[in-house]
Each structure stands twice: as C-alpha cells, then as structure tokens.
C-alpha cells in the first residue's frame, strides 16, 4: 500500500510517501516540505500548498492520504491556518477519489516511538531508523510527514478489522431487531385472540 503522509502547515507543509510491505516493513519513496512566505496572501499560500500536493498525488499515485488531525487550545490563529492547509489537501485527494484518514499527533507518536508524548527529535530519530535512511529528514515537518505515513501503514490493518467488526455488529443488531419485532407481532396477535369472546374465537377458527 502506498501512503502519502501530510504534516499540514502554512509556512511549512511536510509531504512524505512510503510503501508498506509484509508485516511492518515500510520503505521511503519521497519526502519534501512545501514552503510559503508569511507575507503572501492566505489564498495564494493555500493555492501553492494545494498545487504541490496535487502534483505529488498525480506523480506518486498514493492509495490513501494520511493527514495530521489538528487541534489546540492555545494559538487559535495558527491552528486555523494549519487546518486550512490540511483541508485543501484533503479536498485535492477527494477529487481524485483517494481516501483520506486523519491521525492525532499522539497516535502518530505512539505508533512510531511507542510514546504518545514523544518529542520531535525522538520522532525524527525513529523515522530515520524505521525507514533505514542514511540521513535524518529535515526539517521536522518532513519527518512528521513520513511518521504519519508510517503510522497509517501500521494502523490500517487494525482500522480495517475494526470497521469489519462494526459492520458485522450492525448486521447482527439489525437481524436481532427484525426477529424481536416478529416475536412481538406474534405475541400481540396471540394476546388479541385471547382477549376476544369465545364465540368470536370459534368463528375465527371455522374460517381458518
């Protein structure tokens, strides 16, 4: 499975591509960081990011795009810009029929390092080791993009099993509801016949 990882951001947006193999084997395909100047108009910055992401999608043909889920209770302005960058990339993927999955920073860190509170240097170090890279990807946005791709590659089988289990549970629940409704209808019909006068019951019996 080929996964495109995206560490969204306006000033720096990390993009990474990995191929997953047997088990937990992953191979780096490409990594880069899209930069936009802060003095550029917001719409123009988003256009640059979207254009770069679209070129990557058309060039590398990922089967899924994994984007970091953005949330923060501190710098709202920064978070809005980051979310907008992730949004235009998600839109580009949707237009190409590429599934998009979102992973939280703690999920990514936990998958790559085993610690959901790991620092950026630890993430970079583990990404370098997992992908057997000669040099650590820089800046950290590049390593984070690869970490997102690795995280999805490893979490995808579990997510698929959970989705299958949820679907099976819904089918079983629907069958149970259908059977229960049939039982209740039969009980109501029996109760109605029992409450009818004896003459009506005999007449109903002769009609049958």
pLDDT for 179: 82
Active site residues: 7, 68, 141
Binding positions for Mg(2+): 7, 68, 141
Instruction: Report, at the CATH architecture level, how domain 2-156 is classified.
Output: 2-Layer Sandwich (3.30)
pLDDT for 60: 97
Edge-to-edge strand ranges of the sheet holding 26-35: 26-35, 12-20, 2-7, 64-68, 100-103
Q: How many CA atoms lie within 13 A of 103 on its CB side?
A: 31
What token pair was written down for 140?
A: 């950290």
pLDDT for 155: 86
pLDDT for 162: 52
Indicate the pairing of strand 64-68 with strand 2-7: parallel
What token pair was written down for 2?
A: 């080929």
What string of DSSP letters covers 63-88?
A: SEEEEEPP--SS-HHHHHHHHHHHHH
pLDDT for 167: 59
Q: How far apart, in Å, are the Cα atoms of 58 and each of 9, 25, 125? A: 21, 24, 30
pLDDT digits (tens, 9 = 90+) for 37-92: 999 999 999 999 999 999 999 999 999 999 999 876 566 677 888 999 999 999 99
Written as tens digits, the pLDDT of the chain (208 aa) is: 999 999 999 999 999 999 998 888 999 999 999 999 999 999 999 999 999 999 999 999 999 999 999 876 566 677 888 999 999 999 999 999 999 999 999 999 999 999 989 999 999 999 999 999 999 999 999 999 999 999 999 986 555 555 455 656 677 788 778 887 888 888 888 777 777 666 655 555 555 5
pLDDT for 79: 85
Binding positions: 7, 68, 141
| Start-to-end Cα distance in the chain | 64
What string of DSSP letters covers 149-198?
A: HHHHHHHHHHHHHHHHHHHHHHHHHHHHHHHHHHHHHHHHHHHHHHHS-H
């Amino acid at each position: 499975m080929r996964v495109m990882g995206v560490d969204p951001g306006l000033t720096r947006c990390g993009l990474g591509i990995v191929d997953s193999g047997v088990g937990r084997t992953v191979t780096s395909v490409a990594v880069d960081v899209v930069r936009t100047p802060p003095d550029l108009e917001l719409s123009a910055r988003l256009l640059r990011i979207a254009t770069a992401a679209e070129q990557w999608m058309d060039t590398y043909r990922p089967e899924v795009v994994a984007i970091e889920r953005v949330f923060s209770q501190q710098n709202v302005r920064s978070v809005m810009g980051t979310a907008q960058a992730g949004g235009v990339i998600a839109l580009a993927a949707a237009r190409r029929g590429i599934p998009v999955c979102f992973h939280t920073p703690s999920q990514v860190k936990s998958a790559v390092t085993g610690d959901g509170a790991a620092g950026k240097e630890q993430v970079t170090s583990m990404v370098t080791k997992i992908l057997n890279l000669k040099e650590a990807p820089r800046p950290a946005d590049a390593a984070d993009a690869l970490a997102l791709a690795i995280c999805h590659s490893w979490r995808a089988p579990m997510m698929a099993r959970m989705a299958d289990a949820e679907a099976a549970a819904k089918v079983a629940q629907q069958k149970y509801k259908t059977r229960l409704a049939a039982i209740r209808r039969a009980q109501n019909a029996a109760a109605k016949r029992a409450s009818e006068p004896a003459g009506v019951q005999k007449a109903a019996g002769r009609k049958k």
